[in-house]
């Protein structure tokens, strides 16, 4: 039997010291729990997605400097984590495999996504080689995120009789993504007839939210262990390929899922950008009511201020609703009448509105 630990951490792009400290914490925790291999997510050292920071040489150098610092902390344990590798004038989405204080291997991600929110081909060069490792009687391979989604990659892996696969990921959330991801990983594990250890990152980064939900999938395609959703977690799995395991059910409520994603995204956007408090415009309508309620539940009422901005088009009922929302949430609020500001806009735009009837265009300024 071997112990594999999936460290589902919340990294911050560019916060090398913070990410490094968090990685050391989980390495130490893994060592105390006698874990054989501790795994971190894709680009967990520098944070994902680093985007145009990758164009700055000092960002790459700092990332490599912290990777070299990590080496001495990996004695008596195996550590796999994502970082940015550099070879001459090319950079790679990579992982480093440390074993007992030594750098055992570096792998370069082969399949670089370039759709939707992904733009990896703009920065990274694709790798070519697929690695294979042994731990006692167990054979395994390690890859990164999109690699495991590709049939051609699985075909290359299928030529080896592997006991398990480890996949480092930075897979962002969207509605239904958890079920989709589970289906893809299930198909991969069945095709390869081996266990699959999937380690995702968690947290909000700018417009993206990463849900975590790291998991262990059996050769039958059944999920036998889940990490938490939308929270940091450390999943330790006692792996014995001959042991019969009971499948676990992940019950997903779409309403709860979206709510947790919104809270995490909002909280991390505020925290990671160094803000302490927020101001929310409250109109008395359902949209602003939802936003200010979410902000209060996420950040705490003392960190949220309401701003009510009535004009000559604000009805007394709407104005009263706006105040009632703030009072019900017990947040401090301010009222700023914008009638004079509105009139100034009308005066400035008068030449462009000439000979046109007054309508909702003016009201929505």
34: annotated active-site residue = no
145: annotated active-site residue = yes
Sign of dihedral through CA atoms 330, 331, 334, 335?
negative
**Integer CA distances (angstroms), 256 to 8, 182, 298, in order:** 20, 18, 14
Integer Cα distance of 126 and 90 in angstroms: 10
* Inter-residue contact 261 to 268 (CB < 8 Å): no
Q: Which listed residue (42, 62, 99, 225) is catalytic?
A: 42
Tokens read off for 340: 């004079």
What are the phi and psi torsion angles at 69 (to 5°)? Answer: -65, -30
Nearest CA among 83, 73, 81, 68 for reference residue 29: 73
Q: Is there a cis peptide before residue 49, judged by omega within 30 degrees of 0?
A: yes
Strand order in the sheet with 215-217: 133-135, 138-144, 164-169, 195-200, 215-217, 223-226
Tokens read off for 256: 């709860």
Query: Exposure pattern of 223-244 as b/e (b: 16+ CB <10 Å)?
Result: bbbbbebbebbbbbbebeeeee
Q: Which listed residue (78, 109, 182, 263) is catalytic?
A: 109
Going by their DSSP bridges, the two strands 2-8 and 233-239 should be labelled as antiparallel
**Integer CA distances (angstroms), 75 to 1, 25, 36, 148, in order:** 20, 14, 11, 29
Q: Which listed residue (12, 46, 145, 326) is catalytic?
A: 145
Bridge partners (DSSP) of residue 102 are 99
Sequence-separated (6 or more) residues with CB below 8 Å from residue 272? 12, 13, 15, 204, 205
51: annotated active-site residue = no
Q: Up-side HSE of residue 272: CA atoms within 13 Å toward CB?
A: 23
* Inter-residue contact 107 to 147 (CB < 8 Å): no
Q: Up-side HSE of residue 236: CA atoms within 13 Å toward CB?
A: 13
Integer Cα distance of 219 and 227 in angstroms: 19
Query: Which of the residues are catalytic?
Result: 42, 109, 145
């Amino acid at each position: 039997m071997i112990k594999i630990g999936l460290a589902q951490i919340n990294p911050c792009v560019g916060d090398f010291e913070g990410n490094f400290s968090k990685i050391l914490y989980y390495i130490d925790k893994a060592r105390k729990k006698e874990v054989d291999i501790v795994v971190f997510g894709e680009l967990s050292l520098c944070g994902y997605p680093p985007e145009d920071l990758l164009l700055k040489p000092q960002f790459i150098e700092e990332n490599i400097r912290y990777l070299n610092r990590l080496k001495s902390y990996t004695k008596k344990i195996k550590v796999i984590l994502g970082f940015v590798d550099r070879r001459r004038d090319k950079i790679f989405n990579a992982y480093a495999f440390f074993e007992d204080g030594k750098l055992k291997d570096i792998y370069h991600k082969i399949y670089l996504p370039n759709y939707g929110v992904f733009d990896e081909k703009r920065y990274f060069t694709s790798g070519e080689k697929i690695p294979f490792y042994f731990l006692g009687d167990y054979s395994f391979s390690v890859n990164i995120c999109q690699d495991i989604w590709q049939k051609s990659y699985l075909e290359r892996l299928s030529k080896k009789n592997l006991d398990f696969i480890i996949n480092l990921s930075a897979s962002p959330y969207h509605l239904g993504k958890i079920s989709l991801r589970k289906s893809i990983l299930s198909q991969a594990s069945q095709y390869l007839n081996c266990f699959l250890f999937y380690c995702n990152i968690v947290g909000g980064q700018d417009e993206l939210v990463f849900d975590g939900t790291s998991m262990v999938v059996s050769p039958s395609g059944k999920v036998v262990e889940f990490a938490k959703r939308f929270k940091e977690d450390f999943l330790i799995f006692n792996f014995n390929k001959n042991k019969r395991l009971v499948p676990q059910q992940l019950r997903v409520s779409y309403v709860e899922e979206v709510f947790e994603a919104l809270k995490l995204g909002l909280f991390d956007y505020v925290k990671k950008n160094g803000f302490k408090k927020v101001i929310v415009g409250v109109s008395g309508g359902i949209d602003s009511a939802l936003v200010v309620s979410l902000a209060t539940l996420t950040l705490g009422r003392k960190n949220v201020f309401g701003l009510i901005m009535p004009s000559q088009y604000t009805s007394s009922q709407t104005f009263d609703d706006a105040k009632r929302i703030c009072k019900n949430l017990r947040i401090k609020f301010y009222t700023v009448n914008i009638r004079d500001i509105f009139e100034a806009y009308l005066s400035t735009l008068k030449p462009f509105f000439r000979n046109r009837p007054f309508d909702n265009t003016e009201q929505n300024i």
